[in-house]
A = this chain, B = another copy of it.
Amino acid sequence: MSNSATPRTPVPALDIAAGPIALTRQLCDIESVSGDEQRIADAVAVALAAAPHLHVTRDGDTIIARTELGRTQRVIIAGHLDTVPINNNVPVHERVDAATGEAVLWGRGTVDMKAGAAVQLVLARELTEPAYDITWVWYDHEEVSSELNGLGRALRHHPELFTADFAILCEPTSGGIEGGCNGTLRARVSMLGKRAHSARAWMGVNALHRAAPLLQRLAEFQPETVRVDGLDYREGLNAVRISGGVAGNVIPDRCDIEVNFRFAPHRSTDDAVAFVREFFADADEIEIVDLAAAARPGLDAPLAQSLVARVAGEPHAKDGWTDVARFAELGMPAVNLGPGDPSLAHADDERVPLTQIMAVYEALRGWLTDAL
- Which residues of A line the B interface, CB within 8 A? 182, 184, 186, 197-203, 206, 208-213, 215-216, 218-219, 223, 234, 236, 238-252, 255, 257-258, 260, 262, 290, 319-321, 343, 345-346
Contacts and interface: CB of A to CB of B under 8 A. Distances in A.
Contact of A201 (B202, B238, B245, B346): B238
A240 B250 contact: yes
A31 to B, nearest CB: 22
Contacts of A223: 201
Contacts of A250: 240
A149 to B, nearest CB: 15
Given A215-B208, A258-B245, A260-B198, A240 B236 contact: no
Nearest to A210: B219
Nearest to A214: B212
A252 B216 CA distance: 16
B241 A244 contact: yes
B242 A199 contact: no
Contacts of A219: 206, 209-210, 212-213
A145 to B, nearest CB: 10
Contacts of A212: 212, 215-216, 218-219
Given A212-B215, A212-B216, A241 B236 contact: no
Contacts of A319: 199-200
